[in-house]
Amino acid sequence: MHFEGRFYRLRHARLDTEPYEGRFPPIWIGASGPRMLDIVGRYADGWWPAGAWTPDHYAEMLGAVRQSAGRAGRDPMAITPCYVQVCLIGDDDEAIEKIVCALLVAAFLLQVPAEGLRRFGFDHPMGDDWGGFHDIDPTTLTRERIVDFLGRAEPDAIRAVMPHGTPQQVARTIKSYVDAGLRVPKILDYGAMAGLEFSAASAPTCARRRTNC
């Protein structure tokens, strides 16, 4: 394929590829909604949910994936369940208190839909119809709206949606997701957003969390 555009030109571009060692690349899909979970079950080799707020929520979505796979005549257990666990890791309660009060950490709530926050008994600072990261649009989120959001973001709401505590405490929480069916956990220590002090400690604390799993 050739392409002549205003900014780019392509010569002999490929839109496909041959199988490697007789196999096609595995398909991994990130999905959380009912329609997409059905697609995961029918076609995917691996699954990454975009937001699983509790182990029960994770198990519920994984169940939908496996039911879809069964209906499609596939082996439900052949789909690898994964999850990027966003968490806050600190050495003690004082460290966690500093972390949850940091503005960049509070901004994580922009990624959480209002429906997800209601599961924990909190109203979303962006309103009842906020859809999470799908609604993050820099062209419409004015500075005034962001400042207002940050002023109303509750530390307890942040604690509710993110596992937090020492490496041992976070490890126990992630183990509950493993018990719910998770097979490939990935750790994202969001506490690193609280400043250089916590950024420097992030890699060692994540390593300690893996040791405690």
Q: How far is CA 123 from CA 106, 129, 139, 156, 175, in A?
A: 14, 10, 24, 12, 28
Domains of the chain, CATH where assigned: 3-212 (3.20.20.30)
Residue 130, pLDDT score: 95
Please check the confidence at residue 179 and state whether its pLDDT lies above 90.
yes
pLDDT tens-place string over residues 193-206: 998 888 887 777 76
